[in-house]
């Protein structure tokens, strides 16, 4: 396992993070505990959850595990999130001071801790003034309830605005951003990645295997079946079968993954995760697993180093499909200039 600083903070985390959205839903408590033990035994130190995961059950399961594993708990860098509804009332969601106060205290109770290392805003809130949210987070840092804070699913302009607003007021600065990022979803490279690099923000990619597409287990024009996420629900959100099956780029990426994996004697998942972990601004890749076996295979990616040629092949095969301007060749050419002048 490799270790990196958490964005521009001084905290050190493992290059792969355990995502726990499955805890309490797709993984029962015994399985969740085994997943946690497997992760820390492999050198993992970074655990990510959210109040909304399984209606709070994920945090509760983690809390009970931490309480019975004090030695391991002392090394865990713990992250959770707030923003989405945890009740039916008008103040039971959002990034207002009122809701975040209640949400953070409830998360601390479920986790059985007095503070969390990283508290993340689960999504942008167009209703609450940004200053209100940031002031609450600064107060939470001062009160010792959180060590750092970050965001999830923010756009580039939203991240940049938050960074500069916090700086203008002298408040604690954000350190991380959780975006969807993988070989099939690379649009954040247009705005979010540059904004993160500019601000020293560490990226924590979620859905690194694109909902199972990058495991290599699906075949072209063969609808999935069985005990997989798409097998159980082929129309599952952004990962839906038909749209990606019909996209030639999907199979260009999957075929390249399989070729590299077969040549190296590793799984396609490990190749996809290794490529992502080495992308600019990435601090830690979030691994979600329903079983210990899935997690063990994914953790092996921490020791896999792709060659320059392998990385280039994957990067080229997965290149985002964009218009020529502002993100295509013409737009990119205007982002720098020759020191010697001329065209």
* 239-284 confidence digits (pLDDT tens): 676 778 788 999 999 999 999 999 999 999 999 999 999 999 999 9
Bridge partners, 151 (sequence order) = 121, 177
- Angstrom CA distances, 163 to 60, 204, 206, stand at 32, 17, 21
Q: How far is CA 302 from the centre of its chain?
A: 16
Contact 121, 152 (CB under 8 A): yes
* 188-232 confidence digits (pLDDT tens): 999 999 999 999 999 999 999 998 999 988 888 888 776 666 656
Distance CA 105, CA 140 (A): 11
- Please check the confidence at residue 31 and state whether its pLDDT lies above 80: yes
Residue 230 pLDDT: 65
Q: Tell which wins on pLDDT, 321 or 66.
A: 66
Q: What is the 3-state secondary structure (H, E, C) of 115-182?
A: CEEEEEECCCCCCCCHHHHHHHHHHHHHCCCEEEEEEECCCHHHHHHHHHHHHHHCCCCCCEEECECE
* 119-159 confidence digits (pLDDT tens): 999 999 999 999 999 999 999 999 999 999 999 999 999 99
Distance CA 148, CA 10 (A): 10
| Residue 287 in tokens | 């691994």
Average confidence (pLDDT) over 83-100: 95
Residue 65 pLDDT: 98
Report if pTM > 0.85: yes
Residue 322 pLDDT: 82
66 Cβ contact partners less than 8 Å away, ≥ 6 residues apart = 72, 73, 76, 78, 111, 112, 113
Alpha-carbon torsion angle 175, 181, 182, 185, nearest 10:
-160
| Residue 196 in tokens | 């993160």
Of residues 3, 53, 154, 327, which has the active-site annotation? 53
Using pLDDT thresholds of 50, 70 and 90, give the confidence band for residue 10: very high
- Please check the confidence at residue 234 and state whether its pLDDT lies above 80: no
Check if 53 is active-site.
yes
323 Cβ contact partners less than 8 Å away, ≥ 6 residues apart = none
Residue 225 pLDDT: 74
Residue 227 pLDDT: 66
From the list 129, 106, 130, the residue with the least C-alpha distance to 119 is: 106
Burial class (CB in 10 A: 0-12, 13-18, 19+), 269: buried
* 301-313 confidence digits (pLDDT tens): 999 999 999 999 9
Per-residue DSSP letter, 3:
E
- Angstrom CA distances, 175 to 10, 132, 289, stand at 10, 18, 25
- Please check the confidence at residue 342 and state whether its pLDDT lies above 90: no
Residue 275 pLDDT: 98
Write down the mean pLDDT value for the chain: 93
Q: Tell which wins on pLDDT, 296 or 322.
A: 296
- Please check the confidence at residue 235 and state whether its pLDDT lies above 80: no
Contact 79, 46 (CB under 8 A): yes
Using pLDDT thresholds of 50, 70 and 90, give the confidence band for residue 233: low
Q: CA-based angle 144:84:180, to the nearest 5?
A: 90
Q: How would DSSP label each residue in 239-287?
A: G-HHHHHT-HHHHHHHHHHHHHHHHHTS-HHHHHHHHHHTSTTB--EEE
Contact 187, 156 (CB under 8 A): no
């Amino acid at each position: 396992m490799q270790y990196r600083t958490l964005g521009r903070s001084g905290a050190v985390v493992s290059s792969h993070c355990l995502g726990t959205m499955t805890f309490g839903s797709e993984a029962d408590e015994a399985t969740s505990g085994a997943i946690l033990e497997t992760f820390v035994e492999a050198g993992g130190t970074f655990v990510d959850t959210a109040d909304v995961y399984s209606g709070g059950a994920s945090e509760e399961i983690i809390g009970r595990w931490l309480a019975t594993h004090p030695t391991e708990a002392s090394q865990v860098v713990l992250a959770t999130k707030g923003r989405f509804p945890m009740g039916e009332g008008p103040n039971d969601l959002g990034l207002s001071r009122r809701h975040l106060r209640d949400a953070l205290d409830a998360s601390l109770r479920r986790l059985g801790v007095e503070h969390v290392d990283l508290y993340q805003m689960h999504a942008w809130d167009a209703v609450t003034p940004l200053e209100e949210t940031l002031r609450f987070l600064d107060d939470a840092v001062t009160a010792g309830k959180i060590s750092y804070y970050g965001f999830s699913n923010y756009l580039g302009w939203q991240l940049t605005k938050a960074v500069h607003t916090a700086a203008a007021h002298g408040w604690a600065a954000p350190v991380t951003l959780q975006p969807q990022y993988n070989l099939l979803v690379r649009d954040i490279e247009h705005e979010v990645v540059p904004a993160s690099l500019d601000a020293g923000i560490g990226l924590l990619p979620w859905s690194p295997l694109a909902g199972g597409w990058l495991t290599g287990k699906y075949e072209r024009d063969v609808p999935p079946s069985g005990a997989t996420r798409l097998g159980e629900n082929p129309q599952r959100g952004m990962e839906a079968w038909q749209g990606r099956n019909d996209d030639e780029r999907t199979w260009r990426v999957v075929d390249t993954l399989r070729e590299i994996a077969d040549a190296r004697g590793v799984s396609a998942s490990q190749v996809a995760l290794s490529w992502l972990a080495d992308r600019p601004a990435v601090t830690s890749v979030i691994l979600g697993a329903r079983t210990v076996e899935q997690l063990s295979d994914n953790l092996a990616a921490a020791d896999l180093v792709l060659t320059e040629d392998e990385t280039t092949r994957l990067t080229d095969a997965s290149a985002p499909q964009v218009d020529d301007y502002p993100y295509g060749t013409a737009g990119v050419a205007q982002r720098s200039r020759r020191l010697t002048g001329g065209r």
